[in-house]
C-alpha cells in the first residue's frame, strides 16, 4: 500500500512539473512592441492616462527616447527594428533616391515599400525567426518586404482603416495559438496621435483626446492579455518614433531669397531637406546658402556632422539643409500656392531637440518596478528585445550595456 501511494505521489509530482514546464515554455520570453506614432516624450503629462500610469508605476519610464536623424517615421521605425543608424541600414529618409538602383523611394509607393533592395541590416523579426522562434508584425516598417528572403510568420500589409481593437485582437490571437504558429515576438502600431499632432499641433485639444484614446487602448490591451493568460509572461515595450513641435507661417525660410530653387533636385523635404545640385553648381549654391544661414544650417555631404550618422551612404545627396526648430524651408512658389502652410505641427528636426524626443515605457517581469531612467537612443531597443527573448543579436550600433540599468 505504501509503495502504491509513493508511485502515485511521484506520478502526480512529475505530471505537475511537466505541465508547469510546458506552460513556462509556452509563455516565457514573449515580447510585445507597441508604438504610437508621434507620441512625444511629455504627452503623458498633458492628459488623464490611468492605464499608462499603472504601467509606469510598476515598470520603467525614461525621460525620453532619442530618435535617429532625420526624426522622421520610416528611418526611425527601421532603426528600431535593426539597431542600426540610417547610414548603416540604408534608410536615410521617408523619401530617398538610390543612384545605384536609379530608383526613388517614397512611403506612398507600394512597389518601393515592398522591395527588399531598399532595406539593409537584419530586422528583429528575422533574428527571431532564425532562432526557431516566431514573430508577428502588425504594421512595422520593413515587415512588408521579404528582407533576406524572409518574412515573419505573421504580418499584415499596412491598412490605416483597420480598427484599433482589431489590431490588438489579431496580435493577441497570434500570441496564443498554442501551436507551431504561436509567436514569441509581436509588434503593434497606431497612427492617430501623429495625425492629430500634424493637423492641430502638439498643444491642441485634439492631441489631448488622442493621448486619452491611446490610454484607453492600453487598458484594453492589458485586459485582453490577462484574459488570454499571457500578461504575466510578456514584456511590453511602448515606444514612439519621434516627437512633435508647432510650426507656423511666421517661421519660414524662403529658398528664392538666397538661390534659384531650380538649381536643386529635392529628394526629401523640410525640415531636413536633402537635395542634389545641378552639375557644376554645387560649390556656388552651397557657398551662397552658407553665407545666408539664418534659421537653418547647410552641409555638403562630406561635412554632415558625425553625430547624425547619416553621411556614409550612397543614398545621401549633395546637400543637407536642417531647419531650426519650428522653421520650414521651401520655395516662394510653394508658400504662395499654399497660404495656410505651414500650420499645426511637424517633426524631422535635429534629433537633439527635446521636442523631437519620443515616449518609452516598459513593463514586465524582466523590468524594474517604478524606475525612471534618463533618455536613451532608440537604436538600443533591438538589443533590449533580443536580450529579453534570450536570442543572439545581429551586429548593431546599439549596446545592451547602455540600457541594462532598466532591467532586474
Contact 388, 258 (CB under 8 A): no
CB-facing half-sphere around the CA of 207: CA atoms within 13 A:
27
CB-facing half-sphere around the CA of 273: CA atoms within 13 A:
26
Closest CA to 125 of 111, 114, 115, 140: 140
> What values do phi and psi take at 170, rounded to 5?
-65, -45
CB-facing half-sphere around the CA of 143: CA atoms within 13 A:
26
E-strand spans in 216-369?
234-239, 245-246, 252-254, 264-268, 272-277, 296-300, 319-323, 328-330, 345-346, 360-363
Give the H/E segment covering residue 137.
strand 135-137
Report the distance separating Cα 78 and Cα 74, nearest Å.
6
18 part of the active site: no
Please compute Rg for the chain using Cα positions.
24
Closest CA to 345 of 246, 270, 269: 246
Catalytic pick from 49, 73, 346, 386?
73
Q: Look up residue 72 and give its three cell numbers.
A: 522622421
Closest CA to 43 of 293, 348, 345: 345
Beta bridge partners of 286: none
- The CA distances from residue 49 to 53, 132, 307, in Å, are 6, 38, 35
Sign of torsion over alpha carbons 214, 217, 219, 222: negative
Report the distance separating Cα 107 and Cα 73, nearest Å.
10
Report the distance separating Cα 4 and Cα 177, nearest Å.
39
Establish whether the linkage from the previous residue to 64 is cis, with ω within 30° of 0.
no
The set of catalytic residues is: 73
Amino acid at each position: 500500500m505504501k509503495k502504491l501511494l509513493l508511485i502515485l505521489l511521484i506520478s502526480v509530482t512529475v505530471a505537475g512539473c511537466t505541465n508547469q514546464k510546458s506552460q513556462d515554455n509556452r509563455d516565457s520570453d514573449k515580447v510585445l512592441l507597441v508604438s504610437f506614432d508621434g507620441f512625444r516624450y511629455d504627452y503623458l503629462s498633458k492628459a488623464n492616462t490611468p492605464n499608462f500610469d499603472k504601467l509606469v508605476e510598476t515598470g520603467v519610464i525614461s525621460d525620453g527616447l532619442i530618435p535617429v536623424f532625420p526624426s522622421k517615421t520610416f528611418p526611425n521605425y527601421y532603426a528600431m527594428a535593426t539597431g542600426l543608424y540610417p547610414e548603416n541600414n540604408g534608410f536615410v529618409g521617408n523619401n530617398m533616391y538610390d543612384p545605384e538602383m536609379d530608383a526613388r523611394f517614397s512611403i506612398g509607393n507600394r512597389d518601393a515599400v515592398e522591395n527588399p533592395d531598399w532595406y539593409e541590416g537584419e530586422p528583429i523579426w528575422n533574428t527571431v525567426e532564425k532562432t526557431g522562434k516566431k514573430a508577428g508584425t502588425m504594421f512595422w516598417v520593413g515587415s512588408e518586404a521579404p528582407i533576406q528572403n524572409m518574412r515573419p510568420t505573421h504580418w499584415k500589409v499596412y491598412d490605416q482603416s483597420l480598427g484599433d481593437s482589431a489590431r490588438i485582437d489579431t496580435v493577441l490571437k497570434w500570441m496564443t495559438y498554442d501551436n507551431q504558429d504561436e509567436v514569441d515576438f509581436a509588434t503593434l502600431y497606431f497612427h492617430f496621435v501623429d495625425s492629430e499632432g500634424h493637423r492641430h499641433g502638439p498643444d491642441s485639444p485634439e492631441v489631448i483626446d488622442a493621448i486619452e484614446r491611446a490610454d484607453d487602448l492600453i487598458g484594453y490591451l492589458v485586459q485582453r492579455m490577462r484574459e488570454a493568460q499571457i500578461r504575466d509572461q510578456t514584456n511590453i515595450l511602448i515606444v514612439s518614433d519621434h516627437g512633435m513641435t508647432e510650426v507656423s507661417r511666421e517661421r519660414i525660410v524662403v529658398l528664392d531669397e538666397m538661390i534659384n530653387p531650380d538649381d536643386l533636385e529635392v529628394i526629401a523635404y523640410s525640415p531636413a531637406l536633402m537635395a542634389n545640385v545641378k552639375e557644376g553648381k554645387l560649390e556656388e549654391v552651397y557657398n551662397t546658402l552658407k553665407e545666408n544661414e539664418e534659421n537653418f544650417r547647410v552641409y555638403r555631404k562630406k561635412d554632415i556632422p558625425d553625430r547624425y550618422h547619416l553621411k556614409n551612404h550612397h543614398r545621401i545627396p549633395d546637400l543637407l539643409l536642417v531647419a531650426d526648430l519650428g522653421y520650414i524651408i521651401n520655395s516662394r512658389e510653394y508658400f504662395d500656392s499654399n497660404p495656410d502652410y505651414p500650420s499645426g505641427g511637424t517633426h524631422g528636426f535635429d534629433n537633439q531637440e527635446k521636442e523631437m524626443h519620443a515616449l518609452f515605457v516598459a513593463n514586465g517581469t524582466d523590468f524594474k518596478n517604478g524606475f525612471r531612467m534618463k533618455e536613451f537612443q532608440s537604436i538600443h531597443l533591438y538589443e533590449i528585445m533580443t536580450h529579453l527573448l534570450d536570442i543572439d543579436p545581429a551586429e548593431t550600433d546599439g549596446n545592451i550595456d547602455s540600457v541594462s540599468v532598466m532591467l532586474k
